[in-house]
Structures are given as structure tokens and as C-alpha cells.
């Protein structure tokens, strides 16, 4: 997104994409949307019969953005089942950190309850590309 991120729209994309989640095992359906330097990209969680290879909605959305050429993510919206706003898991926090350590993370429960953070609050002192610079 080159224009300022409209978080309400981003949440709406996440909410709509949640309907396409493939979550027959956990039955915890999640949608996500990222606002990137290449536009908005959506994702949903995709589970697998080999449970451990399942992937979260946030990483699907971020990977779609990057595969389209985006390299910076300004905001991510998450839409889970509630009753509380779903916070991104630790693996997703690390995955997203690569593309915007200070990005806005907004999560909305079905009833409309919203939580909002900076990724840097959710993952303090994160490990990013800078850590690899100048390493032996």
C-alpha cells in the first residue's frame, strides 16, 4: 500500500478470507491480510493431516506478498474465531519481523473487540537481518 493503511479495510479483508481457511483438525479458522509496499495480500490458515506442517494465516498472507515482489509490510490484520482477538503466534511474530519490525498488528474478534500492537512490542529485541550483518 502506498497510501496510508486503512486498518478497517485490512480487517475486513482478513475477516472475509477467514471463510476460506482449511482447518478441519483444529477447527480454529483464521484469516489475515497484510498491507505491503506492493499492496494488500490475504491469507488463511492451511492445516494438514501431518499436523506439524500446518501454516498460520499470517504467514500465508506475508508469503503471498513477498512472492509478488513486496519487501516491506506496514500492517497485518488478523481475524480469528474469538471470543477474544487472536494474537499472532510466536513463529508468525518472527516471520513477520523480517519485513517490518515496527508494523502495526491489529486483531479483531467476531464481536468487534479489537487489539492493536506494534510488532516490536510483541517481539522485543527480535532477531532480524541486521543481526547477520558483519557476522563471521
Site residues for ligand THU per CB under 6 A: 23, 26, 28, 30, 45, 47, 54, 56-58, 78, 86, 88-89, 92
Closer residue to ligand THU (CB): 2 or 27: 27
User: Is residue 121 annotated as a catalytic residue, yes or no?
Assistant: no
Q: Which of 3, 9, 19, 58 is catalytic?
A: 58
* Pick 30 or 65: Cβ nearer ligand THU: 30
Q: Closer CB to ligand THU, residue 4 or residue 24?
A: 24
Minimum distance, C-beta of residue 5 to ligand THU, in the bound complex (Å): 19
Least CB distance from residue 26 to ligand THU, whole Å?
Answer: 4
CB of 73 to ligand THU, least distance (A): 15
* 33 Cβ neighbours under 8 A, 6+ residues apart: 10, 11, 13, 14, 17, 40, 41, 42, 43, 61, 76, 77
The residues, any chain, with a CB within 8 Å of residue 52's CB and separated by 6 or more, are none
Letter string b/e over residues 40-61, b meaning 16 or more CB atoms within 10 A of that residue's CB:
bbbbbbbbeeeeeeebbbbbbb
Nearer to ligand THU, 16 or 69 (CB): 16
Find cell 486503512 and name the residue: 6
CB 120, min distance to ligand THU, A? 18
CA distances from 81 to 11, 35, 42, 71, 126 (A): 13, 22, 17, 29, 28
Hey, which residues are catalytic here? 58
Amino acid at each position: 500500500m502506498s497510501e496510508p493503511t486503512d486498518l478497517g479495510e485490512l480487517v475486513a479483508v482478513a475477516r472475509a478470507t477467514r471463510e476460506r481457511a482449511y482447518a478441519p483438525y483444529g477447527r480454529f479458522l483464521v484469516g489475515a491480510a497484510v498491507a505491503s509496499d506492493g499492496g494488500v495480500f490475504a491469507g488463511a490458515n492451511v492445516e494438514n493431516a501431518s499436523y506439524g506442517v500446518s501454516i498460520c494465516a499470517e504467514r500465508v498472507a506475508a508469503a503471498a506478498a513477498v512472492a509478488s515482489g513486496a519487501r516491506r509490510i506496514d500492517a497485518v490484520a488478523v481475524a480469528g474465531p474469538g471470543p477474544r482477538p487472536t494474537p499472532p503466534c510466536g513463529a508468525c511474530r518472527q516471520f513477520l519481523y523480517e519485513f517490518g519490525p515496527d508494523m502495526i498488528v491489529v486483531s479483531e474478534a467476531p464481536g468487534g473487540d479489537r487489539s492493536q500492537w506494534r510488532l516490536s512490542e510483541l517481539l522485543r529485541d527480535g532477531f532480524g537481518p541486521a543481526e547477520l550483518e558483519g557476522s563471521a
